Amino acid sequence: MATVLTERTRYLLDEDRIPRAWYNIAADLPSPAPPPLHPGTGQPIGPGDLAPLFPMELIKQVVSQEREVEIPDPVRDAYKLYRPSPLHRARRLEKALDTPAHIYYKYEGGSPSGSHKPNTALAQAYFNKAEGVTRLATETGAGQWGSALAFAGAAFDLEIKVFMVRASYDQKPYRRILMETYGASVVPSPSPDTQYGQKVLAETPGHTGSLGVAISEAIEDTVTHPGTKYSLGSVFDFVLLHQTVIGQESIAQMDMAGEEPDVIIGCAGGGSNFAGLTFPWLGQTFRGGRKYKVIAAEPEAAPSLTRGVYAYDFGDTAKTTPLVKMHTLGSDFIPEPIHAGGLRYHGMAPLISHIYELGLLEAIAIEQTECFAAAITFARTEGIVPAPEPTHALAATIREALACKESGEDKVIVTALCGHGLLDLAAYEEYLGGQMVDSGLSDQDLASALAAVPVLAG
Ligand SMILES: Cc1ncc(COP(=O)(O)O)c(C=O)c1O
* More confident position, 167 or 358: 358
> Using CA positions, which residue lies closest to atom 16 of ligand 1?
144
Distance of CA 456 to the CA centre of its chain: 28
Using the mean position of ligand 1's atoms as its centre, give its distance from the Cα of residue 145 in Å. Answer: 8
Q: What is the DSSP letter of 233?
A: S
Using the mean position of ligand 1's atoms as its centre, give its distance from the Cα of residue 418 in Å. Answer: 7
Taking the C-alpha atoms of residue 250 and residue 85, their distance in angstroms, rounded to an integer, is 9
What average pLDDT does the chain have?
A: 95
pLDDT of 79 above 70: yes
Using the mean position of ligand 1's atoms as its centre, give its distance from the Cα of residue 40 in Å. Answer: 31
- Secondary structure of residue 23 in the 3-state scheme: strand
Q: What is the tens place of the pLDDT at every residue in 399-425? A: 999 999 999 999 999 999 999 999 999
Q: Which pLDDT does position 4 carry in this prediction?
A: 53
Using the mean position of ligand 1's atoms as its centre, give its distance from the Cα of residue 139 in Å. Answer: 13
> Using CA positions, which residue lies closest to atom 12 of ligand 1?
342
What phi, psi does 193 have (nearest 5°)?
A: -75, -15
Which of 144, 237, 356, 391 has most ligand 1 atoms within 8 Å of its beta carbon, as the pocket-test mutant? 144
Of the chain, the percentage scoring pLDDT greater than 70 comes to 98
> Using CA positions, which residue lies closest to atom 7 of ligand 1?
269
Residues in contact with 76: Cβ distance below 8 Å, sequence separation at least 6, in sequence order: 18, 20
Q: What is the tens place of the pLDDT at every residue in 186-224? A: 999 999 999 999 999 999 999 989 888 999 999 999 999
Q: Which pTM was predicted? A: 0.96
Using the mean position of ligand 1's atoms as its centre, give its distance from the Cα of residue 7 in Å. Answer: 31
Q: Which pLDDT does position 458 carry in this prediction?
A: 47
Pocket of ligand 1 (CB under 6 A): 115, 141-142, 144-145, 234, 267-274, 342-343, 387, 389-390, 418-419
In ligand 1, the atom with minimum distance to the C-alpha of 144 is 16
Using the mean position of ligand 1's atoms as its centre, give its distance from the Cα of residue 409 in Å. Answer: 31
Taking the C-alpha atoms of residue 398 and residue 378, their distance in angstroms, rounded to an integer, is 9
Taking the C-alpha atoms of residue 399 and residue 262, their distance in angstroms, rounded to an integer, is 14
In ligand 1, the atom with minimum distance to the C-alpha of 274 is 11
Using the mean position of ligand 1's atoms as its centre, give its distance from the Cα of residue 142 in Å. Answer: 8
> Using CA positions, which residue lies closest to atom 14 of ligand 1?
342
Q: In what helix (H) or strand (E) does residue 80 lie, and over which residues does it extend?
A: none
The DSSP-derived string for 39-93 is TTT-SBP-HHHHTTTS-HHHHHHHH---SEEEPPHHHHHHHTTT-SPPEEE-HHH
pLDDT of 327 above 80: yes
By the 8 A CB rule, do 114 and 207 touch?
no
Q: What is the tens place of the pLDDT at every residue in 112-147? A: 999 999 999 999 999 999 999 999 999 998 899 999
